[in-house]
Structure 1
Amino acid sequence: MSLIESLRDGKSGVIRNALLLGFVFCLAWGNPLGAQETLIQGLEKITHSPRFKHAHWGALFVDRESGQVVFEHNTDKLFIPASTTKLYSVATALKEFGAEHRFRTPVVRRGDVSPEGVLEGDLILVASGDLSFGGRTSPEGTLAFADGDHTYANGNPDAELTAPDPLAGIQELAEQIAKSGIRRVRGDVLIDDRLFEKAESSGSGPSQVTPVLINDNLIDFQFKPTQPGLPAELVVRPATSAFQVESKVLTVESDQSPEIEIRDLGSGRFSITGQVPAGHKPVLRVHEVADAALLARTVLIEALLRKGIQVDAPTLAEAHKDRLPRVDEVKTLPKVAELTSLPFSESIKLILKVSHNLHASTLPLLVAANHGETTLAAGLRRQHDFLKEAGVEVETISFAGGAGGTRSDYVTPRATVQLLRYMATRPDFPIYQAALPRLGVDGTLPRNIPPDSAVRDKVQAKTGTLYTGNTMNGTTLMTSKALAGYMTTAKGKNLIFALFVNNAHLRDGVTAKTFGDDLGKFCEAVYLKE
């Protein structure tokens, strides 16, 4: 007997432990039988697809105010969360720093300044972990972002550059140093990046997590087509002499595909070949810098030179970190400039809207540094304590990073909903919620439902996507597709939910977006029911 048949027989007024493709549903609506049939039919239409045959599912929907369960399946099973991990790391950092926190990056001097403005010593930029370093600040005083972030340009054809100059923060520091009266630096320009130990990002995009970030520690190569047979126009960001680029990328006929190959020749030299079709939108590719501190040193010296400040040390020399004074001594040195970030709420929005892996991976280390600690493990222990205080069943889950890409990252639908429900009780909840992508509107959720869907802009939720190569079959295995957040239903009820589907094959035209669309349909079915 099917689930719908059992409903018609009156055997399930409030549906509990009903079998549907291996699902156990718990529906507690108490609505007329016909409305229940409509919901179940909608869910069956989604889940009866052959692409779910091997998938592992978990789901939990609850009323935000009462906590009453609306729908559940595999609530206490572990799932790979992918980027819904960022819900946890952002919540921890928001509690740690507060929405209005601003990161301050000082430049100090070691040595005296003569009446003529000659510094007989070094300038030292003390990295504070400022995630955007002035390089995304818009004229409106917000952080600029595109739904397709440049950090994913090598795998996302929709990735775009934002308008602000990625060196704007560096330029501001140079201007302040000039206003301090310094006209010449006889010593060196040093970068103190000892705020925390460097680590690996736990997601795609830039791999190095460092206390200093200039343009996300990436070089942007943007190719604009011209006329077939002619070289494509190349824009390199950030603009610096640290990089020497030879481009042999040509414009080809409009019916061909973009192809770009970047060869790193070492010492800042790059050779790029390929093609871009005529009439095509600009093609963006990125390459991670080998040494973030070295890039910061070079662009700071160049900015000083543009402000008329002579620097005796060579611009392209190595960053001599062995010349740095002790950490406690640095704190006593005179400050000649300071860059102040936008409020932390802007960084939260950037991380959650575009699923920024590098910045999310940095959050646990910033939390650790706020307590004088320097390791990722220390930051994650702080996260453990916060989640436990928030009422999350923390012993049921596992994390090894802040972005959601490590082999150790596992959560349950119940723990995720517990976190989201706790966050809804906090005074800063509006900031947390507003930073989430809006279904059918922006961030990582603009195209997972039709434009005329009833649930459009009724869901604010974090997405997650993780897949790996199925080498034996020459296909791809989607290890995780996830969606978790908040919903306002058609009847005005506020729900909190977590949806996970793990281990599904991507083949025969089925992509990760296919499953993302299914999660959108799932939300639409619940939205219309409630």
Structure 2
Amino acid sequence: MTNSTGGEQLRARPPRRRGSAVKGSGTSWPLALAALVLLVLAIPGALLVAPGFRGPDAPAPAPTPPSWQQAPATLSAPQVLATLQPSAPTPVPAVVAAQVEPVLKADGGGTFTGMVQDALTGQVLFDRGGAEGRVPASNLKLLTAVAALRTLGPDHRFTTKVVQGPAVGQVVLVSGGDVLLGAGESRPGQTMGHAGLATLAALTVQALQAAGTTGEIKVLVDDSLFTGPALNPNWQPGDVEAGEIAPVYPLALNSARFDPAVTTGPRPEDSAKAAAEEFAGRLRAAGAGAGLTVAAGVERSPGGAQTTGAVLAAAESATVAEQVDLMLQVSDNYLAETMGRMAALATGRPGSNDGATAAATAELAAAGVTPDAVKLVDVCGLAMGNQVTARQFTDVVRAITTGADARLRAALDGFPVGGLSGTLDTRYGDATTSGGAGLVRAKTGTLNTVLALSGYVVDADGRLLVFSFIGNGLTPGAAGNKVALDRAATALAGCGCR
């Protein structure tokens, strides 16, 4: 059927089927929702995968370090003590006493004596029983240092030699007073181990090769330099057992220690033979490729070699000055006893304990220190029978610091520094003594009932003061006694006592 109206021909629309989707119809929303869900789920995955395509993130910039960790733009001026001026004011004795008296108190039993002097003039600034003889403990090593430096000289060295033995095939290790020998190679920059047995053995093998020597070698040892008892009867058996001291010989490794790093506990009972046995082992190793063998065991040379055999090799110790410094810094008893005996030999006395004590007393007088009331039964200070006054110690420190004998200046570096070195390294750390840290330089002394401190300090006005404080009859282990000594020395360091 057609409709002619409007000049256009129209076609009838077919009927719509049920369920069919037509564009723009409301039935298309489930597909859109599904697409939205897939998109939401894909975003986190894309974020996880994306770094793999674009590489790692750039590292965060490092934070700027604080100013105290940054390199300085300029170097600060060195901080050193000002040059001593003789014109610096001398402290007033009454003011010094007012500073020292309240702090120099015993913790429990016992008493302290003390003396303070002006180093340049000798004027006494403090005196509490300064003329009273006291057990000085290791402060006695100051007297031994003076004796060694005066008789031997700061630059003297001890020589350990190897010589031809009295019979064919024998070599003799001859002691020369060096008890700081090392087992290995010589270490020229060190005091302990300056001369090494491995080096000495290598030189010996070279000499034997040059002489055409082959076959078996027997090692002997000559330690006849020292005489008299090797173990002082004035030493307590407990101190020997604890390793404070050992029988004294003129030849030893590590100051008669098995290990230089272990300074407590047992020591070799015969340090000379122990050193000779070590030398024999080093000689055996050095001679293995040179047609030389070394017999087992070491014997003493009958009657001493007396240096009559041809010298095959020699090694020199550190200087006396260097050894004195070590002795004072660590308070080495064995080294002190050796130094005393070597000083005795240098003055024509026997190398014995009696010779050592006589030499120390004589050199005290020669250095201008009155030896009245001095009683010495050893030269390391381990014995309780020694007697020295605080006045004599201040006179000794004056002789070292400002006296006429310039050789004694070599001992200055040996004084431990409060809070920094040697036997004072762990002291001067609390609020009452920290003012003396780095300023107080003093030799310590410690026995069960004895504490001592003798040394020097520059006061707040630039005046050099010398002091000695000695406690006897003290309560063993009482913590306040060392603090009392340190407080007294600290008071001097901060003293503008006018």
Match in the other structure for 1:524: 490
Q: Which of 270, 277, 288 does residue 298 from structure 1 map onto?
A: 277
Q: Which of 390, 407, 410 does residue 413 from structure 1 map onto?
A: 390
Q: Which of 221, 233, 241 does residue 191 from structure 1 map onto?
A: 221
Match in the other structure for 1:67: 122
CA contact (8 A) 1:123 1:185 kept: no
Shift of 1:372: 6.0
Q: Which of 423, 431, 451 does residue 444 from structure 1 map onto?
A: 423
Match in the other structure for 1:398: 375
Match in the other structure for 1:428: 407
Q: Deviations over 1:379-436 (max 9, x none)?
A: 2222222112222221211111111011321111111112222223121343211111
Q: Which of 226, 231, 239 does residue 200 from structure 1 map onto?
A: 231
Give the CA RMSD over aligned residues: 2.9
Match in the other structure for 2:207: 180
Q: Which amino acid aligns with 2:253?
A: I
Shift of 1:440: 1.5
**CA 1:372–1:176: 2 relative to 1, 3 Å:** farther
Between the two proteins, the alignment pairs up a number of residues equal to 388
Match in the other structure for 1:456: 437
Match in the other structure for 2:338: 362
State how far apart, in whole Å, the 2-side matches of 1:284 and 1:212 are: 18
> Is the partner of 2:387 in helix, strand or coil?
coil
Q: Does 1:99 align with 2:138?
A: no
Query: Which runs of structure 2 are paired with 1:135-154 in the superposition (5 Å)?
Result: 141-143=189-191
Match in the other structure for 1:216: 255
CA contact (8 A) 2:97 2:126 kept: no
> Is the partner of 1:457 in helix, strand or coil?
coil
CA contact (8 A) 1:137 1:143 kept: no
Structure with greater proportional helix content? 2
CA contact (8 A) 1:434 1:460 kept: no
CA contact (8 A) 2:440 2:457 kept: yes
> Is the partner of 1:361 in helix, strand or coil?
helix
Q: Does 1:40 align with 2:19?
A: no
**CA 1:57–1:438: 2 relative to 1, 3 Å:** same
Shift of 1:517: 2.1
> Is the partner of 1:205 in helix, strand or coil?
coil
Q: Which amino acid aligns with 1:412?
A: T
Shift of 1:137: 9.0
Match in the other structure for 1:253: none
Q: Which amino acid aligns with 2:357?
A: L
**CA 1:285–1:184: 2 relative to 1, 3 Å:** farther
> Is the partner of 1:504 in helix, strand or coil?
coil
CA contact (8 A) 1:206 1:216 kept: no
Shift of 1:140: 6.7
Q: Which amino acid aligns with 1:89?
A: T
Shift of 1:188: 1.8
Match in the other structure for 2:35: none
**CA 1:296–1:41: 2 relative to 1, 3 Å:** closer
Query: Which runs of structure 2 are paired with 1:20-35 in the superposition (5 Å)?
Result: 29-30=91-92
Shift of 1:304: 1.2
**CA 1:94–1:121: 2 relative to 1, 3 Å:** same
Q: Deviations over 1:179-215 (max 9, x none)?
A: 2143535352100000012522656523111111113
**CA 1:527–1:111: 2 relative to 1, 3 Å:** closer
**CA 1:206–1:284: 2 relative to 1, 3 Å:** closer
Query: Which runs of structure 2 are paired with 1:118-267 in the superposition (5 Å)?
Result: 120-134=168-182, 141-143=189-191, 169-182=196-209, 184=214, 186-197=216-227, 198-200=229-231, 205-220=244-259
State how far apart, in whole Å, the 2-side matches of 1:441 and 1:361 are: 26
Match in the other structure for 1:494: 464
State how far apart, in whole Å, the 2-side matches of 1:399 and 1:136 are: 37
Q: Deviations over 1:440-471 (max 9, x none)?
A: 2100011221278222222211000000xxxx
State how far apart, in whole Å, the 1-side matches of 2:263 and 2:381 are: 25
State how far apart, in whole Å, the 1-side matches of 2:466 and 2:159 are: 36
> Is the partner of 2:377 in helix, strand or coil?
coil
Shift of 1:354: 0.4
Q: Which amino acid aligns with 1:170?
A: L
Query: Which runs of structure 2 are paired with 1:503-514 in the superposition (5 Å)?
Result: 503-506=473-476, 510-511=478-479, 514=480
State how far apart, in whole Å, the 2-side matches of 1:412 and 1:284 are: 30
State how far apart, in whole Å, the 2-side matches of 1:94 and 1:359 are: 14
Q: Which amino acid aligns with 1:178?
A: V
Q: Deviations over 1:129-182 (max 9, x none)?
A: 1020246999671325xxxxxxxxxxxxxxxxxxx6x9x611011110122143
Match in the other structure for 2:299: 320
State how far apart, in whole Å, the 2-side matches of 1:124 and 1:368 are: 24
